[in-house]
Structure 1
Amino acid sequence: MRTQGDAMTVYVIVQLTFRKRDAYDRYQARFADVFRRFNGRLLAADEKPQVLEGQWQGDKIVLLSFPDETSYRDWADSPAYQEIARDRKAGADAVALLVRGIDGYRR
């Protein structure tokens, strides 16, 4: 059972559609160095996901996790990430979702 003040894992799901691959590649080359400074985990990054249902028009899907929303925001709002994010924004259109984890779910 969660007590007040406990952190809940959050996930970031990003669907990318490339516009300028060279700009996105610059972002990708610098991503790991910046990301490892924070408390997140890269769970998946796939340019060829298997579509199980519906239609998907993106070029890449990325799944990140953070121990809590504060950790995510520390990374996303950091000057180091904001600097490299310029290349991501120039190189790809993105749909990004912040999703709260389910803690203690029982069937």
Structure 2
Amino acid sequence: MTVYIVARITISDREACGKYEQGFMPVFNLFEGRMLSVDESPHVLEGEWTCTRTVLAAFPSKDMALEWYNCAEYQAILPHRLAGAKAEIAILAGLPAPAA
């Protein structure tokens, strides 16, 4: 079942994040990820949206999402993001397909 990763990122050092971004997509693509949205100015309907970037991505399964996050290639670029931003990241389960 499809799962979604939602990341609310507050960037403090764009240079460090740039190093992370350079290596991100090649690793992400290895695990059949689909980038659905990267937005730095969402239209907020309620509450306060204090992060500077919101990311929405999809993976075919929770196992695939976890394999991506925990793989050596991603872990090698992760320190750049950690040095340049704070994030709140969650995996959300998709809904089952409606019955025909």
Q: CA deviation at 1:104?
A: 2.7
1:23-38 map, 5 Å: 23-38=16-31
What is residue 33 of structure 2 aligned with on the other side? 40
Q: Report the AA paired with residue 18 of structure 1.
A: I
Query: Which residue of 54, 59, 72 corresponds with 1:61?
Result: 54
Normalized against structure 1, the TM-score is what? Answer: 0.87
Q: CA deviation at 1:64?
A: 0.8
Which structure features the higher share of helix residues?
A: 2
Normalized against structure 2, the TM-score is what? Answer: 0.93
What is residue 75 of structure 1 aligned with on the other side? 68
Among the aligned pairs, what percent are the same residue? 37
SS of equivalent residue, structure 2 residue 46: coil
What is residue 80 of structure 2 aligned with on the other side? 87
SS of equivalent residue, structure 1 residue 89: helix
Q: Distance in 2 between matches of 1:77 and 1:64?
A: 16
Q: CA deviation at 1:53?
A: 1.2
Q: Distance in 2 between matches of 1:33 and 1:39?
A: 11
What is residue 4 of structure 1 aligned with on the other side? none
Q: Give the aligned length.
A: 99
SS of equivalent residue, structure 1 residue 71: helix
Work out which of the two has the higher radius of gyration on C-alpha atoms and give 1 or 2.
Answer: 1
Q: CA deviation at 1:105?
A: 4.4
Unaligned runs of 5+ residues in structure 1 are 1-7
Q: Report the AA paired with residue 23 of structure 2.
A: R
What is residue 2 of structure 2 aligned with on the other side? 9
Root-mean-square deviation (CA, aligned residues, Å) is 1.2
What is residue 102 of structure 1 aligned with on the other side? 95
Q: Report the AA paired with residue 15 of structure 1.
A: R
